[in-house]
Structure 1
Amino acid sequence: MPSRWTILAVLFVARAAMAVQFQSIAAIAPELGKALDANLADIGVLIGLYFAPGVALALPGGAIGRRFGDKGSVLAGLAMMLAGEMLLFTSTSW
């Protein structure tokens, strides 16, 4: 069994990654608006679309965790968050 410090470190990194993901769009909103000629309403829609998959997956999340295991579900979720962030990072247009 892993030590409690290893578990704490993994949980800390996962939570920090989630915080960065959830706050990244709002933090770069002024630059994003200038670069893509988007107003605050457009940025709000973008943030809403960013949270939409989380809302859709929250209800069946328990069943997904039971079927695929906790570790696999968490790793798949983190991988999807990373893919979404990379897609946002590499986008050149609205």
Structure 2
Amino acid sequence: MRDCSEFPGNARSCKETFRLYAVQVMNSEQYQNIWNSDYWDLIDRITADTGRHSKHDPTTAAVNQEVRSYTVTKDAVYFAFRDSGACISILNIK
């Protein structure tokens, strides 16, 4: 994530967090309402504990690794990442 302190003044829209959601479905289900937020489980609000990138000091760049578990009880699961103003790059998902 980009360090919010790099924005001039008080950047009101800068966030150092994003939210991870999941929804489970059966193969036989209709997916017409899947994008309705009522169906999604909030797994976690993930913050940049480490790994902030600074354009002023490129040697400080590090990768912040987070691990979350989610029990799947249906045929399929979809994950969504909700970013509300964070400057992030997701490098890998397993």
Q: Same fold (TM over 0.5)?
A: no
TM-score scaled by length of structure 2? 0.25
Report the structure, 1 or 2, having the larger helix content.
1
Q: Which has the higher contact order (CA 8 A, sep 6+)?
A: 2
TM-score scaled by length of structure 1? 0.25
